[in-house]
């Protein structure tokens, strides 16, 4: 058993863990799951994960990138769930990506040794902590850099510190109007030269994020993203003489445009010894919203049935009120489910009295409060008070942070009392 798995199994369940049955409190996760609880025992609102779908998505992405001789360091911020990180590593991922030093510390505390920080280190305390972690010869930490001032911050933070190794940084290329990153290849080349001259830093490659530069799959957007990735590869070539003999990373690629990145990366990889790494993270659950609309692997646009991701998360709510025809108020809201990239999507209702399911296609969630969602039905046939409502969700990156322990079942079926296979713990 991996160290992080052992810690999770002995974690004590308490009344603070929402959604779990009352009799779960005071028992360890291992004890409770071994007792064989059914999903019907849990309280609503609830986030549920589908093991079969998770396994499919993890295996698919690992195989798809493996066929192209590309690596995956999935973005762990999506789930902040070390159990799922380990599942991705077991399938062939070569590291985990995180977004900030606190997430980096979560990974190190659970014995993850290959961690990519997809941001610039500017906190002196965090910089010194990373330097101490690098005393472990099995530990590899990479971070990004896009500004000469950050070199000065690192050198000041590490003044007088005896380093086991310099800090490995990747020069980040952005684009005008985008998020972080140098705004031109020439600017990035000059920065790489400054990194190579620093006594505390090691130039370890180049990085970028195309997902912040596109919001659709129109031809103009895809052409722009192709040019951006081509610029990243040009940067890598132009600073090649500055690299040392250790590993060099070239990384880009989120969950919206992995096809664009992999096309150019796979071609470059044929004549290069660098490690070409994608960082897709949201693929592990996919969704019914933003990634359904943009992922090349969604069933609505995948070229074959074998190249698809499937939604692996569902929200389960209960009807609290029917104050007027065509309106049902659900017991889950913004504190339970994501809403930043679209409200939840009604899928199925399950009758409290008969157990029968009914299709909610055509219904909408028209609004959300902290603890309520407004379910609108066009024909007035809204589910009754006490009925269950299953919702699809949009944007996994703001889904997991609302839950401390998330039940997973082998295969989620509305209305069926499936056995809970594990409780997945998050660390936000």
Q: What is the pLDDT of residues 100-122, one digit of tens each?
A: 999 999 999 999 999 999 999 99
Q: Model-level pTM? A: 0.96
Residue 8 is predicted with a pLDDT of: 66
Residue 234 is predicted with a pLDDT of: 98
Q: How confident is the model at residue 417 (pLDDT cuts 50, 70, 90)?
A: confident
Q: What is the pLDDT of residues 302-319, one digit of tens each?
A: 776 678 999 999 999 999
Q: Does the pLDDT value for residue 2 go beyond 80?
A: no
All residues at 6 or more sequence positions from 34 whose CB lies less than 8 Å from its CB, including other chains: none
Residue 378 is predicted with a pLDDT of: 81
Q: Taking residues 93-98, report their average pLDDT.
A: 98
DSSP class of 180: S
Q: Which two tokens stand for residue 249?
A: 């990373």
Residue 9 is predicted with a pLDDT of: 78
Q: What is the pLDDT of residues 186-225, one digit of tens each?
A: 999 999 999 999 999 999 999 999 999 999 999 999 999 9
State which H helix or E strand residue 264 sits in.
helix 258-269
Give the separation between CA 235 and CA 189, rounded to whole angstroms: 7
Q: How confident is the model at residue 93 (pLDDT cuts 50, 70, 90)?
A: very high
Q: Which two tokens stand for residue 235?
A: 């940067």
**Left, alpha or beta for 193 (phi > 0: left; psi -120 to 50: alpha)?**
alpha
Q: What is the pLDDT of residues 230-289, one digit of tens each?
A: 999 999 999 999 999 999 999 999 899 999 999 999 999 999 999 999 999 999 999 999
Q: Does the pLDDT value for residue 300 go beyond 80?
A: yes
- Of 10-19, 45-54, 84-93, 408-417, the range with the lowest mean pLDDT is 408-417
């Amino acid at each position: 058993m991996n160290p992080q798995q052992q810690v999770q199994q002995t974690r004590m369940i308490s009344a603070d863990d929402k959604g779990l049955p009352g009799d779960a409190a005071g028992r360890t996760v291992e004890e409770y799951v071994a007792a064989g609880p059914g999903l019907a025992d849990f309280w609503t609102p609830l986030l549920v994960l589908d093991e079969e779908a998770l396994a499919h998505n993890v295996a698919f992405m690992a195989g798809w990138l493996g066929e192209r001789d590309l690596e995956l360091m999935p973005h762990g911020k999506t789930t902040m769930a070390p159990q799922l990180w380990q599942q991705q590593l077991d399938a062939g991922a070569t590291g985990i990506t995180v977004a900030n030093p606190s997430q980096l510390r979560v990974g190190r505390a659970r014995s993850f040794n290959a961690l990519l920080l997809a941001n610039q280190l500017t906190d002196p305390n965090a910089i010194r902590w990373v330097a101490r972690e690098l005393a472990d010869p099995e530990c590899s930490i990479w971070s990004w850099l896009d500004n000469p001032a950050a070199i000065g911050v690192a050198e000041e933070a590490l003044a007088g510190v005896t380093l086991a190794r310099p800090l490995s940084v990747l020069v980040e290329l952005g684009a005008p109007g985008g998020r972080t990153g140098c705004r031109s290849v020439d600017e990035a080349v000059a920065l790489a030269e400054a990194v190579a001259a620093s006594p505390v830093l090691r130039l370890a490659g180049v990085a970028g994020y195309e997902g912040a530069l596109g919001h659709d799959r129109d031809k103009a957007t895809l052409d722009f993203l192709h040019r951006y990735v081509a610029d990243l590869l040009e940067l890598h070539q132009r600073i090649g003489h500055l690299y040392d003999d250790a590993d060099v990373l070239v990384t880009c690629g989120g969950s919206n445009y992995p096809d664009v990145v992999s096309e150019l990366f796979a071609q470059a990889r044929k004549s290069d010894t660098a490690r070409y790494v994608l960082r897709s993270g949201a693929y592990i659950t996919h969704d019914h919203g933003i990634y359904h609309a943009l992922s090349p692997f969604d069933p609505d646009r995948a070229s074959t049935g074998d190249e698809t991701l499937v939604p692996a998360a569902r929200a389960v709510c209960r009807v609290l009120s029917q104050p007027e025809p065509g309106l049902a108020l659900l017991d889950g809201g913004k504190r339970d489910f994501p809403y930043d990239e679209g409200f939840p999507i009604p899928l199925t209702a399950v009758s409290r009295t008969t157990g029968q399911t009914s299709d909610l296609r055509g219904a909408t969630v028209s609004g959300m409060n902290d603890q309520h969602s407004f379910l609108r039905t066009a024909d007035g046939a809204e589910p009754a008070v006490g009925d269950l409502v299953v919702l699809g969700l949009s944007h996994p990156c703001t889904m997991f942070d609302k839950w401390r322990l998330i039940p997973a079942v082998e295969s989620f079926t509305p209305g069926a009392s499936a056995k809970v296979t594990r409780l997945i713990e998050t660390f936000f």
